[in-house]
Amino acid sequence: MEKKKTKNVFVQGAISSEFIGQSIAKHQTKTNIGAHNIFLGQVRADIIDGKTVTAIDYTAYEEMANQKFHEIREATFAKYDLTCMHIYHSLGQVNIGEICLFVFVSSPRRKIVFKALEYVVEAIKADVPVFGKEIFEDQTHQWKQNT
């Protein structure tokens, strides 16, 4: 497997549907692909102790996080026969209903992309040092924790 350079996974603010659409369109030239699978993480309006979340403000230990994303990418390519994989994660404020994580895997055949996508998303949730401040309507906040 070819060693790939560590990429910057982070984008400032929400990930737009236009960006996601363009990412899909860019793959039309890769005609060995027969199956894409996409995960979109969306900020949920959780109600906690009677207060509603209106946004999450994301921060990260960026150098370590990008290294972890790189390790996840390498491990996924080693485990599954993927043609390509793209990961984007938001930093800064993302409002409820907006997209904060976009994972895109592609392969010649469908069965692999279902397994690979779950593997990538679960690894991101568990291993990448990203932190989320859940902001409520009254501007108070609490810190999100993945479960």
Partner 1 sequence: MELTIKYFGMLAEATTIHEEQIQTEACFVSELIKKLKDQYPKLHQNDFKVAVNQQLVDHNYFINNQTEVALLPPFAGG
Structure tokens belonging to residue 139: 């501007």
Task: Find the part of the chain contacting partner 1 (CB under 8 A) among 29-37, 51-59, 75-83, 107-115.
Answer: 51-59
Min dist CB 108 to partner 1, Å, is 27
Choose, by CB under 8 A, the member of 63, 75, 79, 114 that binds partner 1: 63
User: Binding of partner 1 at residue 115 (CB under 8 A)?
Assistant: no
- Contact between 104 and 25 under an 8 Å Cβ cutoff? The reply is no
Min dist CB 136 to partner 1, Å, is 15
85 or 100: CB nearest partner 1: 100
User: Binding of partner 1 at residue 121 (CB under 8 A)?
Assistant: yes
Residue 7, SS3?
coil
Min dist CB 28 to partner 1, Å, is 28
Whole-angstrom distance, CA of residue 19 vs CA of residue 23: 6
Task: Find the part of the chain contacting partner 1 (CB under 8 A) among 18-26, 47-55, 57-65, 73-81.
Answer: 57-65
For residue 140, which of 73, 48, 58 has the smallest C-alpha distance? Answer: 48
Residues 12-41 that bind partner 1 (CB under 8 A): 41
End-to-end CA distance of the chain: 33
Contacts of 67 (CB under 8 A, 6+ apart): 6
Whole-angstrom distance, CA of residue 102 vs CA of residue 52: 24
Q: Which residues bind partner 1 (CB under 8 A)?
A: 41, 56, 58-61, 63-65, 67, 89, 100-101, 121, 124-133, 143-146
